[in-house]
Chain A
Amino acid sequence: METIEKIEHIKGTAVINNTASINSLENEAIYIFREVAAQFEKPVLLFSGGKDSITLVRLAQKAFYPAKIPFPLMHIDTGHNFPETIEFRDRLVKELGLELIIRNVQDSIDQGKVKEESGRYSSRNQLQTTTLLDAIEEFKFDACIGGARRDEEKARAKERIFSVRDDFGQWDEKKQRPELFDMLNGEIELGQNVRVFPISNWTELDVWSYIEKEDIEIPSIYFAHTRATFVRDGMIWTADDEVVFRDDNEEVVDRVVRFRTVGDMSCTAAVLSDAADITSVVREIRASTISERGARIDDKRSEAAMEKRKQQGYF
C-alpha cells in the first residue's frame, strides 16, 4: 500500500470516494456499528486501551455523529496493564465524555473463580474470559463489540462479523450462521449474546494507516522509548515491572523498543524499533516480515490456542 487516498473534504462541494481500501473499510465498520445500535438492547464496546479499540471508538463517533455514542465502554482489566495504557484510557473517556465500566480479573481471582497461573510463562490473559462472562451476565449485555481482526490469527479468520455465543459465552465454530451480503442477523434468544467485530476485514496496516490518516492519539508505548528489558526465547520482555517472571541469570539491558500490540504485560513482547512517530510506525509495519501476533506468547502455546480460548468465551 503506497498511498492512502484521502477523502476530499472541501465543505459542501466534495464527493465521498469509497473506492480506496481504507475508506471502504471505514464505511463498512460504520454500517456495522449502526446495525448493533439498532438491533440490540444493551450493547457494550470492549475497550482495552489498545490501538484497535481506540480505532473502534473513533468509528463509533463517526457512526452516530452528531449524537453521542449510544453505548458504554467496558475494560476487563487484568491488573497487569501498562500504566501508560491505563492513564491514556482514563483521559480518553474523560475527553470524549464516554461511560467506562471496569471489571477486574483480580476480583475473579479473589473470589476463587479463577486460579492465577505460576511459573515462567504465567499470564492473566486467559483469566480474562471468566471476568468478561461475569460482567456480561451482570449487565445483561446482548452485544459486545470487539476490535478483533481476521488477519490476526487463523481461527479469527473463520469468525463472522456477528458471532453468536451461547449462554455460556461459548463459540461453536461449526454452527456459525451464514453471513450473506451486508445483512447482519442479530436475532438471539435471552441469555445468548453476540460478539461483534466491526473491523474484521481490516489488516494491522489498515489500522495503523487509519490512525495516521485520522490523526488519532494512541498510548506512548506504541512509539520507540528506552526500557529495561531482557531476552528470552528470542523475544524482548519488560524487566521494569513485577509482572513478567524473570530468572536472576536473565540479564537486564536498556533497549530502545516499542510495542506492536498492547495486551497483558505478561504475554506481550516488545520489538526493537526507533519508530518514534506514527509515520515511522506505518513505514515499519509495511516493511515488517513478522506478524503482529508473533509477539504474543499466548498464541504460541499451541496450534489451536486462539480457537480453544474462543470456545471458552474469549472475545
Chain B
Amino acid sequence: MEVLKIATAGSVDDGKSTLIGRILYDTKSLTDDKLEAIEKTSKQKGYDYLDFSLATDGLVAEREQGITIDVAHIYFSTATKSYIIADTPGHVEYTRNMVTGASTSQAAIILIDARKGVIEQTNRHFFINNLLRIKEVVVAINKMDLVDYSEEKYNAIKADFEALMSKRDYQNQKITFVPVSALKGDNVVRKSENMPWYTGPSILDRLEALGKQDIFNVGTPRFPVQFVIRPKTDEFHDFRGYAGKVYGGELSVGDDVVVLPSQTKSKIKDIYFYDKKYQTASRRSSVTITLEDDINVSRGDMIVKAGEIPTIDKQFTAQVCWMDTKELTAGAKYIVQHGVNKVLAKVDTIHHKINPDYSGINEDVLGLGVNDIASVSFKLNKPIFYDAFKNHRTNGSFILIDTQTNNTVGAGFISQN
C-alpha cells in the first residue's frame, strides 16, 4: 500500500475543511466519538448541517474565527492507499503555511467557489503548485449546489482556469477538473446524481487511480550524510557507517561513488538497514552505508554516484518565498539549510519580485515582505552541492534561517548558479 500526501488550496470559505471532512465522512474514516462531537458542536452553533471543518480546525482561534490558520495533517486510508492530507489555510497572509503544506505533497487539490469562479487567489495557488513542481492537480469546482449544478457555469470556470494553464512554466503537470459540492457530497467520494452531464471521476476516484509513476520525479541518487555511526564495541570495532536517506534513484553495493565536497572516490561496500544487509537501497530509504575505503566523511557531506556530480558552488540563484515579517534585504546574512547542511549566506541581489497572479508584471524591489516571492541570488561562505529544483526536489530546495531568532524565515527553490 502506497502513501499519497495531498495539499489542499483554496480561498477562505471555499470549503477546504468541509471537503476534507466530507472525504473522511464518506470513506467512513471518522470514528463515532469524533462524529458525535461534530454533531454536538454543530447543533450548539445552530447550524442545520454538520460542520465538518470542526474535524480539522484544531485550534481554539480557528474555531472561534471559523478559519484555518495553520496546517493540519489528516489521515485516512482506502483499500489501495494511505492518504495524508495537509489542510492548508486560504488567507493570503498564510501563504507561507500553504507552501509548508505543499512542500511535502505529491498531489494538490485547488478549490474554486463556483459562484465566484477563478479569482486572484486561484492564480496564487496554481502558481505555488507550479513553483513546487506538484505534478498532479485536481481542480475542485465547489458549491455546485449553489449554482443549480450548472454545466455552463462549470465550463466557463474550466475555460478561465485553462487560460491560466497556458501561462505556467511546468509542462508535465496533469490537471483534472471535477464539479463538486463538498457540503452535499457530490463527486467528492461518490459520483453525483445531480450532475449527469459530468462523466469524469470523483475526486477520490482520481486520487485512487494515481500510480507511482504519476506522482514521483525520480532524479539521480543523492545521499546526504546525517550522522556518522561509530559503535566502538568489540563486535564492531572498526565499523564506520554513514547514516542518511537516499533521495532520488537508488544506490547499490559496488556502485562507484564520490564523496562531496572532497571529491574522494570509493565504492559502496555494504548497505545496512538495522541488522540486515541489502543489495540496493531505493528512494527515501533511511539506511547506513559503508565504503570500501577509509575516508573522512562527516555530517553534511554527500555521497553521489561517480559521473552524476551535482553543481558545487558558493553561489546560486533561487526563487524565494519569504515567510517573515522582518524584511529580507540585499546584504543581509542568513543560514541556508540545504538538506542537512548549514552554511552562512549573504543576499547578493534581489532580482525582482514575482507577481504570483500570472500577470507577468514583476517589480524591482529593495526588500521582501512576508509572503512575497522573488528571484534572489546568494553568496555562501562555503560551497554546497546542489541541483536545480526542477531536476531534483530535495537537492534543489533549501530553507533560510534567521541568525538572530533561529526562525525558519524563507523557502527557496534553486533555479541556476
**A157 — which chain B residues lie within 8 A by C-beta?**
56, 58, 72-74
**B70 — which chain A residues lie within 8 A by C-beta?**
158, 173-174, 176
Q: 0/1 per residue, A189-216, Cβ < 8 Å to B?
A: 1000000000011010000000000000
Q: 0/1 per residue, A164-191, Cβ < 8 Å to B?
A: 0000000001101111111101011100
- CB atoms of A66 and B233 under 8 A apart: yes
* Complex Cα gap A177–B60 (Å): 19
- CB atoms of B408 and A180 under 8 A apart: yes
* Complex Cα gap A3–B109 (Å): 28
Q: A20-B2, A66-B229 are in contact. Are A151 and B75 (CB under 8 A)?
A: yes
Q: Does B107 contact A (CB under 8 A)?
A: no
- CB atoms of A181 and B103 under 8 A apart: yes
**B272 — which chain A residues lie within 8 A by C-beta?**
65-66
Contact of A65 among B274, B279, B406 (CB under 8 A): B274
- CB atoms of B227 and A16 under 8 A apart: no
Q: In the complex, which of the residues B69, B84, B274 has the most CB atoms of chain A within 10 Å of its own CB atom?
A: B274
Q: Does A246 contact B (CB under 8 A)?
A: no
- CB atoms of A201 and B73 under 8 A apart: yes
* Complex Cα gap A61–B287 (Å): 13
Q: Does A280 contact B (CB under 8 A)?
A: no
- CB atoms of A178 and B99 under 8 A apart: yes
Q: Does B283 contact A (CB under 8 A)?
A: yes
Q: 0/1 per residue, A115-140, Cβ < 8 Å to B?
A: 00000000000000000000000000
* A67 CB to nearest chain B CB (Å): 4
* Complex Cα gap A203–B1 (Å): 15
Interface residues in B265-314 (C-beta closer than 8 Å to A):
272-288, 299
Q: 0/1 per residue, A56-75, Cβ < 8 Å to B?
A: 00000111111110000000
Q: A1-B82, A18-B282 are in contact. Are A158 and B245 (CB under 8 A)?
A: no
**B250 — which chain A residues lie within 8 A by C-beta?**
15
**B340 — which chain A residues lie within 8 A by C-beta?**
35, 38, 183
Q: A15-B282, A178-B408, A182-B394 are in contact. Are A20 and B1 (CB under 8 A)?
A: yes
- CB atoms of A179 and B100 under 8 A apart: yes
Chain B residue nearest to A294 in the complex (CB): B33
* Complex Cα gap A61–B275 (Å): 10
- CB atoms of B276 and A21 under 8 A apart: no
Q: A63-B286, A173-B70, A307-B59 are in contact. Are A180 and B397 (CB under 8 A)?
A: yes
**B407 — which chain A residues lie within 8 A by C-beta?**
177
**A174 — which chain B residues lie within 8 A by C-beta?**
61, 69-70
Chain B residue nearest to A182 in the complex (CB): B394
**B393 — which chain A residues lie within 8 A by C-beta?**
181
- CB atoms of B280 and A183 under 8 A apart: no
Q: Does A279 contact B (CB under 8 A)?
A: no
Q: A155-B58, A289-B31 are in contact. Are A180 and B99 (CB under 8 A)?
A: yes
Contact of A16 among B2, B280, B323, B394 (CB under 8 A): B280
Q: Does A19 contact B (CB under 8 A)?
A: yes
Chain A residue nearest to B243 in the complex (CB): A34
- CB atoms of B60 and A307 under 8 A apart: yes
- CB atoms of A290 and B31 under 8 A apart: yes
* A140 CB to nearest chain B CB (Å): 18
- CB atoms of B279 and A201 under 8 A apart: no
Q: Does A258 contact B (CB under 8 A)?
A: no
**A17 — which chain B residues lie within 8 A by C-beta?**
282
* Complex Cα gap A110–B279 (Å): 57
Q: 0/1 per residue, A2-27, Cβ < 8 Å to B?
A: 11110101011111111111001111
* A84 CB to nearest chain B CB (Å): 26
- CB atoms of B339 and A183 under 8 A apart: yes
> SS class of chain B's interface: helix, strand, loop or mixed?
mixed
* B24 CB to nearest chain A CB (Å): 11
- CB atoms of B278 and A16 under 8 A apart: yes
**B273 — which chain A residues lie within 8 A by C-beta?**
7, 16, 62
Q: In the complex, which of the residues B1, B104, B299 has the most CB atoms of chain A within 10 Å of its own CB atom?
A: B1
Q: Does B3 contact A (CB under 8 A)?
A: yes
Q: In the complex, which of the residues B61, B233, B280, B285 has the most CB atoms of chain A within 10 Å of its own CB atom?
A: B285
Q: Does B163 contact A (CB under 8 A)?
A: no
**A290 — which chain B residues lie within 8 A by C-beta?**
31-33
Contact of A178 among B79, B97, B241 (CB under 8 A): B97
- CB atoms of B279 and A158 under 8 A apart: no
**B233 — which chain A residues lie within 8 A by C-beta?**
66-67
* A210 CB to nearest chain B CB (Å): 13
* Complex Cα gap A38–B229 (Å): 11
Q: A180-B408, A185-B406 are in contact. Are A12 and B279 (CB under 8 A)?
A: yes
* Complex Cα gap A40–B72 (Å): 27
**B96 — which chain A residues lie within 8 A by C-beta?**
178
Q: Does B168 contact A (CB under 8 A)?
A: no
Q: In the complex, which of the residues A61, A64, A176, A183 has the most CB atoms of chain B within 10 Å of its own CB atom?
A: A183
* B38 CB to nearest chain A CB (Å): 11
- CB atoms of A307 and B239 under 8 A apart: no
Q: Does A102 contact B (CB under 8 A)?
A: no
* Complex Cα gap A9–B74 (Å): 32
Q: A30-B286, A154-B56, A158-B70 are in contact. Are A180 and B34 (CB under 8 A)?
A: no
Pairs of residues from A and B, 8 with the lowest C-beta to C-beta distance, nearest first: A154-B58, A187-B406, A30-B286, A21-B82, A67-B231, A294-B33, A291-B31, A34-B226
Q: A4-B1, A9-B276, A18-B285 are in contact. List 13 more A-B contacts (CB 8 A).
A: A9-B278, A15-B282, A18-B283, A31-B226, A61-B274, A63-B286, A65-B288, A173-B70, A178-B408, A180-B103, A181-B393, A183-B337, A307-B59
Q: List 30 A-B contacts (CB under 8 A).
A: A12-B277, A15-B282, A16-B273, A16-B280, A16-B282, A18-B283, A20-B2, A21-B2, A34-B227, A34-B243, A34-B286, A38-B227, A64-B229, A65-B274, A66-B235, A66-B236, A66-B241, A156-B58, A158-B58, A158-B59, A158-B70, A158-B72, A178-B100, A181-B104, A185-B406, A187-B406, A200-B73, A294-B33, A303-B63, A307-B60
